[in-house]
Structure 1
């Protein structure tokens, strides 16, 4: 999209000459990454059916952007505004699940996390090589701009995160709303869909092993790339099926063709695309082998047996879901019998889930209602009388050619 071509949409001084539904409150979803986009699509499901609301999307950029983000947004079939047009208008509500470019948008901002918890598993920023100061998603430099607190509502998962915020950016505490985790609530609500998800994956009666990786050099895919072929080829395919869930940034940075080529030797591997399907795949799983990423944390939270293939240097950040998983899950040993390691993971799974859940959310199964109320408050609209429910995870659809 050319930067100087604006969309003839429902905003602007002459919008009244073209809209069919006049007087709608305008909502802008800011999508800098596919990861943020998937979280915002979940959030938008709580209000986009309202006849009083008009939702729009934008992909921010300055001199660069993550590959594949605009394609992801277009695939949602929402109205996509050029970044320059979005930044030039004021909206009734701005939704974000990333800190990028938030100082440039106008309107009351609701900011939520894009992973499990606002205290990340990594202690140091990926952008600062040799960093010695731990970072969180609640640091002042992320939440303020020139002394101004950016979010009008900051969605947090737990009261413990409020205390982290009080230490890191106390001026933002009035914006904090402990809302739990919408993604986790949706996964919990979809437990009854497990067999449907397994049928979509073509698992049958076999046990499903999911190999989960975040991105960067300390991830499972970064440190133990041979794990994928070793496990897919070692487990008997009459008893086991294997799926891979890779962070969207792995695909964005390296490209789909290259990632596919790297995984081409993995017999029968079901590769889950980055846009959707990982939540359902985790629900369908019998055993998850992962790292400090959010997908592994969510798997642990819904009671899946977990084995750790990789951790960041040292130990995960204290207070993070990843640190709780590290404390209970055993490390993967590719030279030891895999089925014995699965049994060990199964034995500790109930305790792991019990320890992870209160770190991920202290508003279990309540997030949809809390978040919807917060959005309608910012929109200055009366909230619908119907109950708010978390969206159920989409059906998993492995990439073609990987389910032999």
Structure 2
């Protein structure tokens, strides 16, 4: 998108000369990455059908940006504003799932997380080099600018996170709302669609093993990339199907052609590669066993009661209080010298205890997030809330990527 070309959309001094629905409250969703976009689309589903509301999107940037974010918004057919146009306008509501450049937008801000829990599995920021101070997503440097608390509403998953906030940024506590986790609630509500998801994946009666990886060098795909080919080769195809879920940042940094090339032989051997835009939630619902790392997808699988084995962990122990730390305490590491079937049995036996331990770390408002978040958004919009029940959206049907293009 050319940065100097503004969209003739429903905002601006001359908007009245072109809109068909006048007087709508304006909502801006900030989508710096595909991961954040997928979370905000879940949130937007709670209000975008309202005839009083107009939703727009923007991709924040300064000197650089993550690849794929604009394509994601366009693929969802969202009205995409250039960043320069977005920061020049005041909105009735701004939605964000990351602290990236939230100080530059204008309007009441609702900030939620984009992963499982607000305490990350990694103790230190990936950008911090030799940092020695642990970081969370609710530290003062993330939530304030020049002494001002940025979010009008800060959505948290658990009551324990409020106490972390009280320690890390006490001035933001009045903005905190414990809302649970809309992604987990959507997955729980869609559990009855498990067989539909399995049919879409072509699993049949076989057991589905999902290989899950976050991004960065300490992830499963970063540390043990040969695991994918090894597991596909080791499991008999008449009894097992294997799928791979890779963090969208892997695709953004390395490019779709390169990632699919790296997994090309595995695909030829039967690996189902889930695209970064959608499908991972449904794939986790369909799974019988998840081999993952400290990333959010593994944490959500554990919360859903799926058996989990760990292929990788961040350097040192995961951060205390994080979902990754709880998963580490209850899930065994993958042992390349032991038969996979035996390790699967151990994961199955540990799954109920794992889920019971993980759930309260992800959400203390189970199955309530849609209602809580919708109420918060309508309060900020100064609109009466619809008198219908609020439901999280159902995860999209998973469509594995085809083999490599010629």
Q: Under a length normalisation based on structure 1, what TM-score does the superposition of the two structures give?
A: 0.99
Equivalent residue for 1:221?
Answer: 221
Runs (5+) with no aligned partner, structure 2: none
Q: Retained in 1: the 8 A contact 2:303–2:359?
A: yes
**2:384 maps to 1:382:** yes
Equivalent residue for 1:10?
Answer: 10
Equivalent residue for 1:69?
Answer: 69
Equivalent residue for 2:35?
Answer: 35
Q: 2:281 aligns with which of 279, 282, 285?
A: 279
3-state DSSP class of the match of 2:291? strand
C-alpha distance in 1, partners of 2:24/2:264?
Answer: 49
Runs (5+) with no aligned partner, structure 1: none
Q: 2:352 aligns with which of 350, 353, 357?
A: 350
Runs of 4+ in 1 over 3 A off after TM superposition: none
Instruction: Encode CA deviations 1:55-85: one digit per residue, 9 max, x unaligned.
Output: 0000011000001111011001011000000
Equivalent residue for 1:138?
Answer: 138
3-state DSSP class of the match of 1:89? coil
Q: Retained in 1: the 8 A contact 2:264–2:403?
A: no
Equivalent residue for 2:369?
Answer: 367
Equivalent residue for 1:341?
Answer: 343
Residue 401 of structure 1 and its aligned partner are, at CA, apart by 2.4
3-state DSSP class of the match of 1:265? helix
C-alpha distance in 1, partners of 2:101/2:166?
Answer: 23
C-alpha distance in 1, partners of 2:229/2:383?
Answer: 53
C-alpha distance in 2, partners of 1:72/1:309?
Answer: 29
Instruction: Encode CA deviations 1:78-112: one digit per residue, 9 max, x unaligned.
Output: 11000000000000000000111101100000000
C-alpha distance in 1, partners of 2:237/2:307?
Answer: 20
Equivalent residue for 2:233?
Answer: 233
Instruction: Encode CA deviations 1:111-163: one digit per residue, 9 max, x unaligned.
Output: 00000000000000000112111000011001011111100000000010000
3-state DSSP class of the match of 2:180? coil
C-alpha distance in 2, partners of 1:19/1:195?
Answer: 44
3-state DSSP class of the match of 1:121? coil
Q: Retained in 1: the 8 A contact 2:26–2:92?
A: yes
Equivalent residue for 1:242?
Answer: 242
Residue 228 of structure 1 and its aligned partner are, at CA, apart by 0.4
Instruction: Encode CA deviations 1:166-220: one digit per residue, 9 max, x unaligned.
Output: 0101100000000000000000000000000000000000000000000000000
Equivalent residue for 2:303?
Answer: 301
Instruction: Encode CA deviations 1:5-43: one digit per residue, 9 max, x unaligned.
Output: 100100000100100000000000000000000000000
C-alpha distance in 1, partners of 2:91/2:224?
Answer: 45
Equivalent residue for 2:163?
Answer: 163
**2:321 maps to 1:327:** no
3-state DSSP class of the match of 2:309? strand
C-alpha distance in 2, partners of 1:128/1:370?
Answer: 34
Equivalent residue for 1:53?
Answer: 53
Greater shift in the superposed pair: 264-273 or 81-90: 264-273
Q: Under a length normalisation based on structure 2, what TM-score does the superposition of the two structures give?
A: 0.98
Equivalent residue for 1:127?
Answer: 127
Counting matched residue pairs gives: 402
